[in-house]
Amino acid sequence: MKWDKTTILARLRKLYKAGADLSYNALTKKDQSVVSAAAYHFGSYRTAVERAGIDYAEFLRRPRWTKPRIIQQIKQARRSEQDLNWSAVIKRKDELAKAAFASLQRRLFGGWDRALHAAGLHADEVSLYRQWDRATIAFELRERFQAGESVSSGSLQVEEPSLHAAAFRYFGSFDRALRAAKINPADVRKRGKGPGKSKARSR
């Protein structure tokens, strides 16, 4: 493509509308030609972005991973019929693996299965991808407890039955699972008796 100021601005606006990361480093990896052309024709890449009517500072503040980016990675992997099983995904060394680990952050999805749900997978499909192990169980319990959500055996049987069953299967008892998550079972029982029981996790 032969670049001029008009085509550069049009390209940047199109990328912006598509939700692309227009930070210098991100776009250089994906579209080096438009970045180089922008710097040549406008004096700097940032100037070109701002001439396109886009606030470049938005991309300086943008976190590495966002919900739309994670969902995009999942959909791309599904279209190419890649294995979305948690155990298989985290063994990869690509963007899908990074998206999977990022999905665990509470500001994003708080779990890989929830990210899969958000990407349009149905409950029965998600169950195929949910693979429990001792570390994952401990992580989920600790995350719930630190967020002020109930991790009592009774609550989990209702709210997270798969997690509850996995805790017994891998640890032999629920108290052992709590201790593995560095949670004192006595604290859980005290919290359960308090006046401000945590609400069930929203779906």
Cα 142 versus chain centre, distance? 18
Q: Read off the pLDDT of residues 135-152 as tens digits, 9 standing for 90 and up.
A: 888 988 988 888 788 889
- pLDDT of 99 over the 80 cut: yes
Q: Give the separation between CA 197 and CA 191, rounded to whole angstroms.
A: 7
Tokens of 138: 């401990």
3-state secondary structure of 94: coil
Among 78, 65, 73, smallest CA distance to 121 is for 78
DSSP state of 110: S
Q: Give the separation between CA 28 and CA 181, rounded to whole angstroms.
A: 42
CB 12 within 8 A of CB 46: no
Alpha carbons within 13 angstroms on the beta-carbon side of residue 75 total 9
Q: Read off the pLDDT of residues 11-37 as tens digits, 9 standing for 90 and up.
A: 999 998 888 888 888 888 888 999 999
Single pTM value for the model:
0.41
Q: Give the separation between CA 16 and CA 71, rounded to whole angstroms.
A: 18
3-state secondary structure of 152: coil
Cα 102 versus chain centre, distance? 4
pLDDT of residue 126: 64
